Structure 1
Amino acid sequence: MLKLFRLLPAFGLAFTLLLTACDQNQVYEKNIDFDKYTWSVRQKPAFTFDIADTTQRYDVYFNIRNASDYGYYNLYVKHTLTDPANKQVSQLLHQMLLMDAQTGEPRGKGTGDIYDHQFLALPNQKFQRAGTYKIVLEQYMRQDQLPGLMAVGVRVAKAAAPQP
């Protein structure tokens, strides 16, 4: 039975990958797991993705996986986005609500005590140059170690056409 519980995160990841594999608008998606389910302030996961079409608008999402024993209802994450010439395009602090502040009920999709969230961080993003972009994420919670955070990721997808 214990082995089954250890496999649940893998099944959740496989299910998520299966769902996103069918998405024609997806340009990039990658998630990075944290050792011991803890995000250290020193860990700054970096994600690189290629943009070929500069006429297209893109939505950039942040993926968060947390256990129910994560100690806060929110998570502050700072991103730094750089272009192919390594020039900073944007830097912003994001607050993501993982649980309802009043009730403590988890948000996101969950199996057991594990919850997956996808937050639209940079909507309708315009990339000026074709090439490889890099986005670095930093936890900004004023705590060196954040137990209960299992993984973080980035997803880039073509933005939906504006409605007339």
Structure 2
Amino acid sequence: MFRTLSAFLLAITLLTGCRPGRIYEEYHKFDKYTWERFDKVKFEIPVEDAGTEGDIVFTIRHITQYPYPNLPVNIILTTPSGEERILEKDIRLKDESDRFTGSVAGDLWDVEVTLWPGFYFHETGTYTVEFENLIPKMGIPGLVDIGLYVKKREKK
């Protein structure tokens, strides 16, 4: 089972590695499919062209055994000059009928949430986006990985 799942994850990663229009894409895999309570996950977005505009999208990959209907997270975006934008988000992973949402392949579920649509990167440098899970348990089981990507918006 583990070999099959690993091969599947590798294939998905290779197929989704270079998607058109994405100027940044990175994923953080969790050991033993568990996000420990006080482990913050940080992504660093390098920006070389001030004036770039893009959608900042959060991705979650989990297995069917994920025990909660949601994933509450605290998100801190920091610009190169130190300006912070804080967002608390309760991401619904199940609908009102207690069924998982998102796309599914076997036992894996993928959910995407646009955090900042049309975000304007007004300066060059490294933007950081840090995630902290807010479920009051020592570890959240059933999470394969979380990720972040930026899809460039074309100027009109």
Note the C-alpha offset of 1:109.
1.5
Aligned counterpart in structure 2 of residue 89 of structure 1, from 68, 80, 84: 84
Note the C-alpha offset of 1:65.
0.8
Note the C-alpha offset of 1:32.
0.7
Partner amino acid, structure 1, of 2:88: L
Which residue does the alignment assign to 2:110? 116
The reply on whether 1:18 has 2:12 as its aligned counterpart is no
Return 5+ residue gaps in structure 1 as ranges. none
> How does the TM-score come out when normalised to structure 1?
0.85
Query: Against the structure 1 CA distance between its residues 92 and 22, is the aligned structure 2 distance closer, same or farther, given a 3 Å change threshold?
Result: closer
For the 8 Å contact 2:34–2:140, the answer to whether it is kept is yes
CA distance in 2, matches of 1:142, 1:61: 25
The reply on whether 1:137 has 2:137 as its aligned counterpart is no
Which residue does the alignment assign to 2:68? 72
The number of aligned residues is: 156
CA distance in 2, matches of 1:10, 1:46: 26
For the 8 Å contact 1:8–1:111, the answer to whether it is kept is no
Aligned counterpart in structure 2 of residue 55 of structure 1, from 47, 51, 55: 51
Aligned counterpart in structure 2 of residue 98 of structure 1, from 83, 93, 97: 93
CA distance in 1, matches of 2:74, 2:33: 19
- Could you say what the CA RMSD is over the residues aligned between the two structures, in angstroms? 1.9
Identity percentage of aligned residues = 33
Note the C-alpha offset of 1:16.
4.9
Query: Against the structure 1 CA distance between its residues 104 and 78, is the aligned structure 2 distance closer, same or farther, given a 3 Å change threshold?
Result: same
Query: Partner of 2:77: helix, strand, or coil?
Result: strand
Query: Partner of 1:21: helix, strand, or coil?
Result: coil
